[in-house]
Amino acid sequence: MKLTGAQIFVECLKREGVELIFGYPGGAVLSIYDEIFKQNHFRHVLVRHEQSALHAANGYARVSGRCGVAIVTSGPGATNAVTGLADSYADSVPTVCFSGQVPTNMIGNDAFQEADTVGITRSATKHNFLVKRVEDLAITIRQAFHIATTGRQGPVLVDIPKDITNDTCLFEYPETVDIRSYKPVSQGHPGQVRRAAKMLLEAERPMIYSGGGAVSSVGGAERLTELASLLNAPVTNTLMGLGAIPCDDPHFLGMLGMHGTYEANMAVTGCDLLIAIGARFDDRVTGRLDGFAPNAKVIHIDVDPSSISKNIHAHLPIVGDVGIVLKQLIDELARRETKADTNALAAWWQQIDGWRGRDCLHFEQPSDGKIKPQEVIRRLHAATAGEAIVVTDVGQHQMWAAQHYGFRKPRRWLTSGGLGTMGYGLPAALGAQMAAPDARTIVITGDGSFQMCTQELATAFQYKLPITVVILNNGYLGMVRQWQEMFYQQRYSHSYFDALPNFAKLAEAYGGIGIKVEQLDQLDGAISRAMAERERFMVLDVIVEGEENVYPMVPAGAAINEMVLS
């Protein structure tokens, strides 16, 4: 049967099992939107800005483990999507973005709403396509989903000129997809796995360092937790890796890096074997490279070969999917008769407990003073038993949330780790809440970040999403102010807002509930009211201590054991 390109689009998404897409219509995608109108295989969620469509698809993908899908129009629709694509690329989140394009005969003519979308998004995507014939549309969509969801996952963009959506051809869905130049490795090399097991058992001071790959890989989190207990080895997570091991697991030392815990950074510095699992030795993790794990042999498990030995030399690389390789490794360890040296491990744990004793995240909350931002996060944890989906923006609030919330499960912590996109939080929460309608979704944000995608409150209202937005309102761009205080002699250049909206009234204007919290004794009441709300979004504007800093902190250029603790 002959179908139009727009009908093929709908048919392909249906066959991919897509249940939800986020988008914004426009001239070049009108024919596709017309077909979307006529079908009921998937829902379309209308966001208020194309950047949000990509962030929402990202949030949906991270919570559900499925591919996020977005659709935008040509020109400004596509350029608005770029930040969202770059964000998903930096954090390896599987998303497919469809963009409209001017008709093929007008490409290159500076037509209305024309942009070189494939050119612009090339470095912000894992791969992108321009569809030039309607006959290529189905296979291109199939390949786009395949590339986005396999190997090191990431965003793929498919640019579809308007005439292609109207042209017709015989529709045949390609059941299988085979790209000869793209064959990601999932199984670890057995010899390397055996060598890794031997090194792990011989280590006296082993350390597990896991990242986003342990969360996104199927079975990664469970096996990471299992590996830690099998080896009785300490575990630290990157910002992206939080939730892979429960926060109350005795092996967990917290996050490492620039705002990591004292014990995590000291243990990395002191270990004799570091096993990196789905992590990429980002500069916010390593600090000064020659001071990072200086005494350790390094084993690195990663699905992306280019992440291995990029920043830190890996003595033993294992390319493969984290979940699969960890299974291989655990089986190999179980087969071995030699066991780890319990005396050495006991001494290692004694040393670690000494570092833990510093209680580096300690803060004082005066009973009648200003609310400490850390206190807000602690109370959110208490109110949700650490089981909420926590979505953040970027800055101080993000670091406090990472340090103080305490995650019990994977895929419940959504933050813009690699790109550091202010404005990510609220739109990502839309996708997260839709992926898990029964879960409590909390956006922890700042007064700066929240103003970058505030318009999505309208989307939250339209779709009756009971998202809780908690603004840690200090009147500053807090992280910028902190750096200016520490490194620029307190010259607060443009990091203070002389004008802020009344966030509670703003929430009401958008149809939600707004509460301003200025006193500590109002906090729990406001939180429990938000936790009980099932239909409307709620914004808690929490006025917090203005000049609180995030500690511990490793100054830029220092080694990670050179921490400023307070």
Partner 1 sequence: MRHTLAILVENEAGVMTRVTGLFSARGYNIESLSVAPTLDETISRMTLVTRGDERVIEQINKQLNKLIPVIKTEDLSRTSHMERELVLVKVQAKHETRAEVLRMADVFRASVVDVSEESYTLELTGKAGKIDAFLRMLTPLHIIEMTRTGPIGMRRGGKAFAVEEK
Chain positions contacting partner 1, by CB under 8 A: 118-119, 122-123, 126-127, 130, 147, 179-182, 304-306, 309-310
* 113 flagged as catalytic: yes
Instruction: Evaluate whether 244 touches 540 at the Cβ level (below 8 Å).
Output: no
Least separation in angstroms between residue 166's CB and partner 1 is: 22
- The answer to whether residue 11 is catalytic is no
Three-class DSSP labels, 418-455: CCCCCCCHHHHHHHHHHHCCCCCEEEEEECCHHHHCHH
Rounded to 10 deg, the angle between the 322-335 and 220-231 helix axes is 30
- Least Å distance, CB 182 to partner 1, is 5
Nearer to partner 1, 317 or 395 (CB): 317
Say if residues 67 and 435 touch (Cβ distance below 8 Å).
Answer: no
Catalytic residue among 112, 183, 387, 508: 112
DSSP string, 31-85: HHHHHHHH--SSEEEE-SSHHHHHHHHHHHHHHHSS-EEEEE-STHHHHHHHHHH
Q: How far is the CB of 83 from partner 1 (least distance, A)?
A: 17
Catalytic residue list contains 112: yes
Residue 280 or 327 with smaller CB distance to partner 1: 280
The helix or strand, by DSSP H or E, that contains position 196, with its residue range, turns out to be: helix 190-202
C-alpha to C-alpha distance for 278 and 307, rounded to whole angstroms: 9
Nearer to partner 1 by C-beta: 2 or 313?
313
Extended strands (E) in 153-312? 155-161, 168-170, 206-210, 235-237, 252-255, 273-277, 297-302
Any idea what the Cα angle at residue 198 is, between residues 196 and 201, rounded to 5°?
110
- Cβ-Cβ contacts under 8 Å for 455 (sequence gap 6 or more): 48, 49, 52
Q: Which is nearer to partner 1, 2 or 122 (CB)?
A: 122
Could you tell me the smallest distance in angstroms from the CB atom of residue 143 to partner 1? Answer: 9
Instruction: Kindly state the DSSP code that residue 134 receives in the 8-state scheme.
Output: G
- Residue 168 pairs in a beta bridge with 4
Question: One of 11, 16, 35, 50 is an active-site residue; which one?
Answer: 50
**Which CB, 130 or 330, lies closer to partner 1?**
130
- Cα–Cα distances (Å) from 135 to 9, 30, 72, 97, 138, in that order, read 12, 20, 22, 20, 7
Residue 88 tokens read as 């998903």
CB of 104 to partner 1, least distance (A): 13
Report the SS3 class of residue 156: strand
Strands 235-237 and 252-255: parallel
Give me the sheet containing 68-72, strands edge to edge: 43-46, 20-23, 68-72, 95-101, 155-161, 127-130
- Give the three-state DSSP class for 22: strand
The phi, psi pair for 23, rounded to 5°, reads -165, -175
Closer Cβ to partner 1, 129 or 551, answer by number: 129
| Residue 110: other Cβ atoms inside 10 A | 8
Could you confirm whether 98 is annotated as catalytic?
no
Whichever of 290 and 337 has its CB closer to partner 1, that residue is 290
> Which lies closer to partner 1 via its Cβ, residue 119 or residue 294?
119
Is residue 258 flagged as an active site residue? no
| d(C-alpha 265, C-alpha 255), whole Å | 8
User: Would you state the structure tokens that stand for residue 488, as one six-digit string?
Assistant: 């620029």
Please identify, using beta-carbon distances, which residue of 194 and 310 lies nearer to partner 1. Answer: 310
SS3 for 504-551 is HHHHHHCCCEEEEECCHHHHHHHHHHHHHCCCCCEEEEEEECCCCCCC
Q: Least separation, in Å, of the C-beta of 68 and partner 1?
A: 19
User: How far is Cα 110 from Cα 98, in angstroms, rounded to an integer?
Assistant: 21
Q: Which is closer to partner 1, CB of 112 or CB of 182?
A: 182
Minimum gap (Å) between residue 215 Cβ and partner 1: 21
- Among 479, 538, 553, 563, the active-site one is 479
- Structural tokens at position 208: 């597990």
Annotated catalytic sites, by residue? 50, 112-113, 162, 479
